[in-house]
A and B are shown apart, each in its own frame.
Chain A
Amino acid sequence: EDQVTQSPEALRLQEGESSSLNCSYTVSGLRGLFWYRQDPGKGPEFLFTLYSAGEEKEKERLKATLTKKESFLHITAPKPEDSATYLCAVPDRAGNMLTFGGGTRLMVKP
């Protein structure tokens, strides 16, 4: 059974204070790892898909990396508008069911 664990559950940062969010996974053959951002009362917004260890992707202040056991979402010089819950997920063999981590609730204070 696929398992995804995110840490920390909550993270408070000052504006400009860089940090990393962790997503550890146990799957029987990785078929991709997805990162999403979810704001309160909204659906998850797609950020990145990573497929193989060593892969990195960037978007503005966010950078996602992947190893064989975990993925990191690095946030550089965050701004208050980066405050949200960040979710990582892996698909099952058929690419249907996503197993989500519990999410990291990020709060960036000005």
Chain B
Amino acid sequence: GAVVSQHPSWVICKSGTSVKIECRSLDFQATTMFWYRQFPKQSLMLMATSNEGSKATYEQGVEKDKFLINHASLTLSTLTVTSAHPEDSSFYICSARVLAGGPGDTQYFGPGTRLTVL
């Protein structure tokens, strides 16, 4: 149980184009999903917290107009990287918190999406 999927697993795009990444909780409902990015040999950096049916909360330094997040249902959140540039190339990982209501609830992570912007 508690499986999170991401699609696509990798994507290569040209500079200036937009890319959408999907994150799905397959066997549980998640009111809250999270988006992280990870650079090589570094720890995960939280980009934003996404709550179903409301606007995402972005961490300091993350451009909300560049990284558009939509959480339309209890099982799906999307991250759109708009007008991508080479510096946006990274490993993007989503996580979902099991719907149970407590701050100690486990976050389950997706397999990640490798974005390469040429």
> Which residues in A have some Cβ–Cβ distance to B below 8 Å?
31-32, 34, 36, 41-46, 49, 51, 87, 91-98, 100-103
For B59, what are the chain A residues with a Cβ–Cβ distance below 8 Å? 97
For B46, what are the chain A residues with a Cβ–Cβ distance below 8 Å? 97-98
For A46, what are the chain B residues with a Cβ–Cβ distance below 8 Å? 2, 106-109
- Closest 10 interchain pairs by CB? A95-B103, A32-B104, A43-B109, A43-B112, A31-B104, A31-B103, A43-B93, A44-B109, A100-B43, A43-B111
- Total of A-B residue pairs, C-beta within 8 Å: 61
Q: Is B12 an interface residue, CB under 8 A from the partner? A: no
Q: Report the Cα distance A94→B91, complex, angstroms.
A: 25
For A49, what are the chain B residues with a Cβ–Cβ distance below 8 Å? 104, 106
* Contact yes or no, A96 B34, CB < 8 A: yes
Q: Report the Cα distance A110→B64, complex, angstroms.
A: 47
Q: Report the Cα distance A87→B106, complex, angstroms.
A: 14
Q: Is B78 an interface residue, CB under 8 A from the partner? A: no
30 contacts across the A-B interface (CB closer than 8 A) = A31-B102, A31-B103, A31-B104, A32-B104, A32-B106, A34-B106, A34-B107, A41-B91, A41-B114, A42-B112, A43-B4, A43-B6, A43-B93, A43-B111, A44-B93, A45-B109, A46-B2, A46-B108, A46-B109, A87-B43, A91-B107, A92-B103, A93-B103, A94-B103, A95-B103, A96-B49, A97-B59, A100-B44, A101-B43, A102-B43
